[in-house]
Amino acid sequence: MSIISSLQKILSSEKGTIFETKDGSSIHITPRHAYSLVSVHDTLNPDNQQKMRDLLEESEDGFVKMLSFCNKQFIKEE
């Protein structure tokens, strides 16, 4: 399952899930993480959406970096 499909499933069920990255890492994604990531993803152009998905799916480190970036976007808006 792709990362975006997993995030959308989390949002609709309001339950976290474990996602396995391409390097074999397992990441627990909460509904709050999913909301932050999907909200930023949906504002990006198609090329940047693909880059974001690739980074999220690549490794735990990539996922954490992208999540941190997305969370900072919400801090700026407040």
- pLDDT (tens digit per residue) in 16-65: 999 999 999 999 999 999 999 999 999 999 999 999 999 999 999 999 99
Contacts of 40 (CB under 8 A, 6+ apart): 52, 69, 70, 73
Mean local confidence (pLDDT), 5-20: 94
**What letter represents residue 45's amino acid?**
N
> Residue-wise over 28-60: b if at least 16 C-beta within 10 A, else e?
ebebebbbbbbebbeeeeeeeeeebbebbbbbe
How many domains does the chain contain in total? 1
Asked if pLDDT for residue 74 goes beyond 80, the answer is no
User: Closest Cα partner for 16 from 3, 24, 7, 4?
Assistant: 7
First to last CA, the chain: 33
Q: Which domain holds residue 40?
A: 3-77
Asked if pLDDT for residue 78 goes beyond 70, the answer is no
pLDDT tier at 73 (50, 70, 90 boundaries)? confident
